[in-house]
Structure 1
Amino acid sequence: MNWQVSIERHGAEAQPVVVIDGFADAERFRDDAAFLSFAPIGPHYPGIRAVVAPPMLRDLIARIEPIAAEMFGIPALQVVDAFYSIVTTPPSALTPIQRLPHFDEVSPDRLALLHYLSPDERSGTAFYRHRTTGFESIDAGRLAPYRAALDADLRRHGIPDARYIAGDTPVFERLAVYGGRFNRAILYRSNTLHCADLPDSLTLDPDPATGRLTVNTFLDKA
């Protein structure tokens, strides 16, 4: 595959996001997902998942390593987790934490690689700033003050309505949206505040052939 790579930055922290179009043999991944059993995994993801076999990713991760070295200072990578993921939870069933931007890990060495595999390109991934603290990423030193400030914000403004976040709120400012183009991948630090950007009209279909199928891979330094 001939990659089309661009480097984007957003916010005051200028956090990098690597955008790779033409990332992989998308139909190979879609065919693989079609034969797997999906189920909820963990309390936070608003949908169903299935584990991606390591051989599916091995060559792609090797190609990413020079980019990760240049942009994030991580010369060698290992896969921590990798899942096929399909958003299926209706807005009315979202838990309070699923209505907010989130971070996956406080270590700046943990990277997230998100590969879009749905022909429906209306969704994407958005990145946010927490208004009270100004934080756009959460490391170990920021974790306690962020939690305290967020708790105070939610007491002041209330728990968000039961819907997927889509734009600015009283608590968070949206900084950037990266569109979920078919066979695009984005690589970013998983401690940045982010969430799926989903239009209200998106069909929450559990079928990997027609639903919002992605591969969510978490990487760390080897």
Structure 2
Amino acid sequence: MMHASRAVDIPGVALNPNARVEIKKIGHEQQPVFIVDQALINVEAMVAFAAEHTTFGPPPSTSRYPGRVAPLPASYMPNILAALRRPLESVFGYVAGPRPTSFGFYGLATVLTADLMPDQVIPHADATQPNAYASVHFLSAHDYGGTAFYRHKATGLEVVSPAKSQASYQQRNAELEAYKGSPHSKLQALYEEIAYIEPVANRLILYRAGQLHSAKMAGVDTLPDDPRTGRLTANLFVNIG
């Protein structure tokens, strides 16, 4: 269960009006990944808040996040979502429903790739609704691996849509069963990497939640259990119901 954080202001944490924006079109489907560098004026305050004013605990039972999670500062999510509203509409064609939903959390990755479960190793989709989006905000100054996007080789699938979700789920489970007990590399070889986003400090990326993706931490041999020195991210999900 995620623990409640105290209502503490974070002086200096504000959106950067001079942030650099880039749009990458990836894969055969040319789906966009919206990238914002230097997203906040003072990202160090976000790290300090995580270390001093919130408590990390295990992820919810429905999550496969490979580490610990904690609540974000109260002002972070509304400010980020307000700033993302225009690119959601112009870049992704987002159309708000009557009751858009959102949630987010700090993520502190603590499980090395070699120790992950098979279903944590292979790429996944966060949701399949057409108006579902996810963002990752890299807060760490250290390179513990970024986010990679993939294509399933056998089917060519890059984005899991509602129409394809059942078949994708069944194939995923069949492959997990077929390669049970095999090295992770056997499962990973079923997918082709189509893009990789480097984990630059204070970089925020936004993508469709149905896009097959995974944290790419191969070669990382240590993941400190400390928000100040570990792989700390802020993770948001929009219109996921």
The 8 Å contact of residues 112 and 217 in structure 2, kept in 1 or not, is answered as no
Kindly report which structure 2 residues correspond to 1:45-194, keeping only aligned pairs within 5 A, or say none: 45-74=65-94, 80-158=102-180, 161-162=183-184, 169-194=188-213
In the TM superposition, residue 76 of structure 1 has moved relative to its aligned partner by: 5.5
In the TM superposition, residue 149 of structure 1 has moved relative to its aligned partner by: 2.8
More strand by share: 1
Q: 1:189-217: CA deviations, max 9, x gaps?
A: 11110000113234211100000000001
Larger mean CA deviation between 100-109 and 143-152 belongs to: 143-152
What letter corresponds to residue 21 of structure 1 in structure 2? Answer: D
Give the whole-Å Cα distance in 1 for the aligned partners of 2:173 and 2:218: 27
Larger mean CA deviation between 36-45 and 67-76 belongs to: 67-76
The 8 Å contact of residues 121 and 188 in structure 2, kept in 1 or not, is answered as no
The 8 Å contact of residues 139 and 232 in structure 2, kept in 1 or not, is answered as yes
The 8 Å contact of residues 133 and 149 in structure 1, kept in 2 or not, is answered as no
The 8 Å contact of residues 46 and 94 in structure 1, kept in 2 or not, is answered as yes
Q: Residues 144 and 75 from structure 1, CA distance in 2 versus in 1: closer, same or farther, beyond 3 angstroms? A: closer
Give the whole-Å Cα distance in 1 for the aligned partners of 2:212 and 2:46: 27
The 8 Å contact of residues 93 and 162 in structure 1, kept in 2 or not, is answered as no
Q: 1:152-173: CA deviations, max 9, x gaps?
A: 444555555258x9xx943111
Residues 1:34 and 2:51 aligned together: yes
The 8 Å contact of residues 113 and 218 in structure 2, kept in 1 or not, is answered as no
Larger mean CA deviation between 3-12 and 82-91 belongs to: 82-91
TM-score, normalised to structure 2's length? 0.82
Match of 2:238 in 1: 219
Give the whole-Å Cα distance in 1 for the aligned partners of 2:22 and 2:232: 23
Give SS of 1:54's match: coil
In the TM superposition, residue 62 of structure 1 has moved relative to its aligned partner by: 1.4
Q: Where do 5+ consecutive residues of structure 2 fail to align? A: 1-15
In the TM superposition, residue 56 of structure 1 has moved relative to its aligned partner by: 2.1
CA root-mean-square deviation: 2.3
Residues 1:8 and 2:30 aligned together: no
What letter corresponds to residue 146 of structure 2 in structure 1? Answer: G
Give SS of 1:59's match: helix
In the TM superposition, residue 70 of structure 1 has moved relative to its aligned partner by: 0.2
Give the whole-Å Cα distance in 2 for the aligned partners of 1:158 and 1:64: 40
Q: Where do 5+ consecutive residues of structure 1 fail to align? A: none
